[in-house]
Homo-oligomer: A and B are copies of this chain.
């Protein structure tokens, strides 16, 4: 995974002073390594009879749709409020500073669907946990959570102990 890590760029003091942002855009520009990354992200779940991949707006749309394509299943977008046009289920959740909301179409998930949650970064885990809960509120089963990279010091994994979890790169 050192090769993958070479395509993650550290940006100091973004979005705020004192924070090092892990910029994945160099990886997006390298289609071979991006494909390698997506294949590795779904590999632990390839035999898990996944029925769909869910991904969070916005960067989760990139990794989520590629993961869904690789697995040969549909993609379910989890969106910021007011973006999905049909009837939605929503979840409000706390972030380090303030709160946020995610929505999913009511008919995007049927009871018993086996869902893989995909995002690029696992940080505090708040968004990922809310996403899992949202899927479960519609009767879906979270078969696992897969991330490109994990900021281990933020301990987001602790929010997701109910689920098999994988991440390719650790900081």
Contacts and interface: CB of A to CB of B under 8 A. Distances in A.
Given A14-B85, A65-B65, A108 B29 contact: yes
- Secondary structure at the A interface, as helix, strand, loop or mixed, is mixed
Number of copies: 2
A58 to B, nearest CB: 4
Interface in A85-133: 85-86, 105, 108
A41 to B, nearest CB: 14
A69 B31 contact: yes
Interface residues of A, number: 37
Interface in A29-66: 29-31, 34-35, 52, 57-59, 61-62, 65-66
A147 interface: no
Given A65-B65, A66-B69, A75 B9 contact: no
A76 interface: yes
Contacts of A72: 31
A18 interface: no
